[in-house]
Amino acid sequence: MAKAHNLGFPRLGTRRELKFALEDYWRQNTTADDLLTSAAALRAQNWEIQADLDLVPVGDFSLYDHVLDMSFTLGHLPERVRQLKGTELDHYFRVARGRSPADCGCSGVAAGEMTKWFDTNYHYIVPEVCGDTAFLLNSQRLVDQIAEARSAGVTPKPVIIGPVTYLWLCKARSGYDRLQLLQNLLPVYGQLLEQLADSGVDWVQVDEPILVTELDADWKLAFETAYHHLKGSRAKLLLTTYFGVLGENLQQACNLPVAGLHVDAVRGRQEVNALVDWLPSHKVLSLGVIDGRNIWKTDLNALLEWLAPIHERLGDRLWLAASCSLLHVPVDLELETELDPEIRSWLAFAVQKLDELRLLRSALNHGTDAVAEQLAANARAIASRRASTRVHNPTVKQQVQAITSDLGERRSPYPVRAERQAVALQLPRYPTTTIGSFPQTTDIRKARLAYRKQEISHELYVSTMKGEIERAVREQEKLGLDVLVHGEAERNDMVEYFGEQLEGYLFTRFGWVQSYGSRCVKPPILYGDVQRPSSMTLDWTVYARSLTDKPLKGMLTGPVTILNWSFVRDDQPRRDTALQLALAIRQEVLDLEAAGVNVIQIDEAALREGLPLRRSQWQDYLDWTVDAFRITANGVRDTTQIHTHMCYSEFNDIIRDIARMDADVITIETSRSAMELLDVFEEFHYPNEIGPGVYDIHTPNIPTKEQMVALMSKAAERIPAERLWVNPDCGLKTRRWEEVLPALENMVAAARELRGIA
């Protein structure tokens, strides 16, 4: 009999219950007991949803982050927290977010660094290691939850992060090789597996997703060392990989001494036959056949046809699951009662994905006749999506077909453009500007919400927003900024704003996905060919421009960022979707230009985070993403100045492609790194203009003129002053006017001082 199991379930609850429980606790409105009770109730609810699976994950639930949980299981806390008084829960939130409710009144401790979990938008707390890092087992959480799961009536399968991936996730202080810790770590893992076996579990899911990345010889050896050390364990280990193909690690993954292997059979489908051949005949093969990273229904009939011969070969050794934890999709489609019914019928969230698994299991074990009706319904949904005129727009497809390489070429090279722009714009040296948004005040949010709920008229909404735009323009004039912006008051979110106006996009009400801790995002769903029915930003921008004689910068979000922050189509390559988006935004660029807007910024905040996990695939990604940007941006006249903005500053390995984008000006985040990150621009002789951020907008602190002059002077050591701009790190929407005004006043004063020096 084929088994169905799950690797992990969303933690926050159908209605984000955990978010609210956490935030209430942090605000001291509730007690630790209240929080733990809510958490236990959520776990029970999740187990109920998964009840009839053959194995149900335990330990996938987390109060903040599963990597942090693993650090606690390994007794691995930063030294600065260990010394503080308090309960384990206090320590936990201190590492997670710099403070526990017990700490109010003091300034807290440095929170652990956060970074993205592989190529997802989930962020984990990076474990810190150094030469004297020690580990000490604390298996209580897992042992308790195994008992809890049993009393909820499910068969528990504890989930842990494997020792090699755990070390790989750690960050070592300069120069220290974290692999040296493996010898200390393995005995603790050995004890942990013993305790899990003592608590009666049969299988343990050991996550080793780094097996889908390119590993050097030391890391490959670490896998051998680790799993040979652990092979005596009484619990059976399911070595679990996800987010991609095993590639050159396939043979090694097959042969490590464990009882089973889970692979991502969505992204790695082409490898499955090789796996079936290579896997020793006593091992279980768990195939992640349901996409855990996207929200589309699976074509179950096609999948069953593909699975049947594999099932024949593997028999009981075949397990079925989603490709990865369901953490990365929203919980339950049932809540989306307002969604367009046709499109809704094409979707599956976490709960529905488990139904798909059950159906597959029944069909394989008892024959398709037993589930004929459900399979027919699935076939109808798949056919409806495939044929829908809402998905397929022949005009858009033709336009993409007709793209030629000259579409992405500016008319003249940068030096020629720069001269013409200098004449047109008449900017001083060290020109000042901002990244686009100004504070999103409660008034702005209220007005937007009221408009959305149809409580205020269109006219009132427009006049309120115009009032905000006017305020932003007046303040910028008073400050003496050189290139102004309209302030983005009308935008809830830089992707949603555009998605809502493009054909081919859909928005859910409860489609939340955890980003970090209690924070969630609600990625829009890009379901069809993308078209721009009418201009999206023109009216606001033209209005703002009418208020001032200074140059005013139009603000757009770029195609790659829109793509990377949405759930996108799985029926065509991402590249094709990006090109459709590029054509739509290109029209917006040209409309703005035609209306006289001669500075246009196209934000590509998320270009870097879309880089594939394997380096060997980077260039391909960079090729089509840069093409998409060029198509968007480069249809303009020489006198129109194109800006782009990126929310980071590590460009070392992609600088060539950044330069290929050929934006006249790029603004980046540099204030915290003291401009060292500009080295790569210097070494590469980056040819165009750069605005290295001098104002860290992530803190309420107000940078002084002197600090900003010092930062810009450092920048000028690396980049010729005539190509430097002065601007904040990012948009100002999360800040308050009281913070923004003095900071920008200092920034303008800094630019004036620099002009005196330069």
The answer to whether 252 touches 274, Cβ cutoff 8 Å, is no
Nearer to ligand GLN, 157 or 545 (CB): 545
CB of 647 to Zn ion, least distance (A): 3
Piece of 260-268, 297-305, 354-362, 432-440 that binds ligand GLN (CB under 6 A):
432-440
Contacted entry of Zn ion, ligand GLN, none for residue 436, CB cut-off 5 to 8 Å set by kind: ligand GLN
Please, are residues 319 and 4 in contact by the beta-carbon 8 Å criterion? yes
Min separation Cβ 646 and ligand GLN, Å? 7
When the beta carbons of 593 and 603 are compared against ligand GLN, the nearer one is 603
Q: Is 5 a catalytic residue?
A: no
- Return the closest-CA partner of residue 562 out of 515, 607, 513, 528: 607
Interacting stretch for ligand GLN, rule CB under 6 A, among 83-91, 430-438, 447-455, 744-752? Answer: 430-438
Q: Does 731 bind ligand GLN (CB under 6 A)?
A: yes
Task: Kindly state the smallest distance separating residue 480's Cβ from ligand GLN, in Å.
Answer: 20
Question: Contact letters (x/-) for ligand GLN, 595-614, by CB under 6 A?
Answer: --------x-x---------
Give yes or no for residue 645 binding ligand GLN (CB under 6 A): yes
The torsion of the CA quartet 300, 254, 248, 312, rounded to 10 degrees, works out to: -30
List binders of ligand GLN among 295-354 (CB under 6 A). Answer: none
Quick one: 152 exposed, middle or buried, by C-beta within 10 A (0-12, 13-18, 19+)?
buried
Looking only at the bridges linking them, the beta strands covering 284-290 and 641-646 are unpaired
494 binds, among Zn ion, ligand GLN, none (CB under 5 to 8 A by kind): ligand GLN
Number of residues in contact with ligand GLN, rule: CB under 6 A?
Answer: 13
Range in contact with ligand GLN (rule: CB under 6 A) among 43-51, 130-138, 431-439, 498-506: 431-439
Nearer to Zn ion, 506 or 606 (CB): 606
Of 494, 583, 602, 654, the one binding ligand GLN by CB under 6 A: 494
- Cβ atoms 598, 424 nearer than 8 A: yes
Binding partner of residue 158 among ligand GLN, Zn ion, none, CB under 5 to 8 Å per kind?
A: none
Work out what residue 733 binds among ligand GLN, Zn ion, none; the CB cut-off runs from 5 to 8 Å by kind. Answer: ligand GLN
**Cα radius of gyration rounded to whole Å, the chain:** 27
Q: Which amino acid, one-letter code, is at 147?
A: A
Question: Within 10 A of 110 (CB to CB), how many other CB atoms are there?
Answer: 11
**Residue 147 neighbours by CB distance under 10 Å:** 14
- Residue 156 pairs in a beta bridge with 56
Q: Quote the tokens at residue 652.
A: 């070392």
Identity (one letter) of the amino acid at 53? L
Please write down the long-range contacts of 619-625, taking CB distance under 8 Å and 24 or more positions apart: 622/654, 622/657, 623/657, 624/574, 624/575, 624/578, 624/579, 625/560, 625/578, 625/657
Q: Site size for Zn ion, by CB under 5 A?
A: 3
Q: With 0-12 CB in 10 A as exposed, 13-18 as middle and 19+ as buried, what is 486?
A: buried
Residue type, 152: A
Q: Applying CB under 6 A, does 555 fall inside the site for ligand GLN?
A: yes
Rounded to a whole number of angstroms, the minimum distance from the CB of residue 148 to ligand GLN is 40
By the rule CB under 6 A, 643 interacts with ligand GLN: no
Q: How far is the CB of 437 from ligand GLN (least distance, A)?
A: 3
- Per-position b or e across 502-537, b if 16+ CB within 10 A of its CB: bebbbebebbbbbebbbebeebbbbbbbbbbeebbb
Q: Yes or no: say if 292 and 323 are a contact pair by the CB < 8 Å rule.
A: yes
Residue 530 identity (one-letter amino acid): V
Among 84, 111, 79, which Cα is nearest to 95's?
Answer: 111
Residue 68 interacting entry, from ligand GLN, Zn ion, none, C-beta within 5 to 8 Å by type? none
Residue from 18, 733, 748, 749 that binds ligand GLN (CB under 6 A)?
733
- 265: Cβ–Cβ under 8 A, 6 or more apart, which residues? 272, 287, 288, 289, 323
Considering only 647, 661, 709, 747, the residue that binds Zn ion (CB under 5 A) is 647
Which residue in the shown chain puts its C-beta closest to ligand GLN? 731
Q: Per rule CB under 6 A, is residue 143 in the interface with ligand GLN?
A: no
Contact status: 523 vs ligand GLN (CB under 6 A)? no
The two three-digit tokens of residue 77, written as one number? 């806390």
| Binding status of residue 553 toward ligand GLN by CB under 6 A | no
Any contact of residue 730 with Zn ion (CB under 5 A)? yes
Q: Which does 555 bind (CB under 5 to 8 A by kind): Zn ion, ligand GLN, none?
A: ligand GLN
Least CB distance from residue 644 to ligand GLN, whole Å?
10
Which residues between 232 and 291 bind ligand GLN (CB under 6 A)?
none
State the nearest-atom distance from the C-beta of 557 to ligand GLN, in Å: 8
Least separation in angstroms between residue 300's CB and Zn ion is: 41
**Nearer to ligand GLN among residue 261 and residue 494 (C-beta):** 494
| Dist. CA 188–CA 369, nearest whole Å | 49
Distance CA 51, CA 491 (A): 42
694 binds Zn ion (CB under 5 A): no
Q: Residue 210 touches which of Zn ion, ligand GLN, none (CB < 5 to 8 A by kind)?
A: none
Distance in Å, CB of 142 to ligand GLN, minimum: 38
Helix (H) or strand (E) holding 318: strand 318-322
Binding to Zn ion, residues 586-625 (CB under 5 A): 605
Compute CA distances 646 → 119, 560, 629, 680, whole Å: 18, 12, 13, 15
Query: Which one of 263-271, 425-433, 588-596, 730-738 is the stretch in contact with ligand GLN (CB under 6 A)?
Result: 730-738
- Sheet containing 260-264: order of strands: 3-4, 318-322, 284-290, 260-264, 236-240, 203-207, 156-161, 56-58
Distance between CA 543 and CA 148 in Å, rounded?
A: 60
DSSP three-state, residue 272 = helix
Question: Which entry of Zn ion, ligand GLN, none binds 437, CB below 5 to 8 A by partner kind?
Answer: ligand GLN
By CB under 6 A, name the one of 436, 439, 524, 558 that touches ligand GLN.
436
Cα 695 to the center of its chain, rounded Å: 24
38 binds, options Zn ion, ligand GLN, none, Cβ within 5 to 8 A by partner type: none
Tokens 């919400």, residue?
Answer: 449
Least Å from the CB of residue 494 to ligand GLN: 5
Residue 490 near ligand GLN by CB under 6 A: no
Strands of 665-668's sheet in order across: 553-557, 599-603, 641-646, 665-668, 689-692
Interface residue with ligand GLN among 46, 437, 640, 644 (CB under 6 A) is 437
Chosen residue from 42, 63, 435, 597 binding ligand GLN by CB under 6 A: 435
Stretch that binds ligand GLN, among 257-265, 435-443, 499-507, 670-678 (CB under 6 A): 435-443
Would you count residue 730 as binding ligand GLN (CB under 6 A)? yes
Residues lying near ligand GLN in the complex (CB under 6 A) = 435-437, 488, 494, 555, 603, 605, 645, 647, 730-731, 733
- What is the set of active-site residues? 698
Residues engaged in binding Zn ion (CB under 5 A): 605, 647, 730
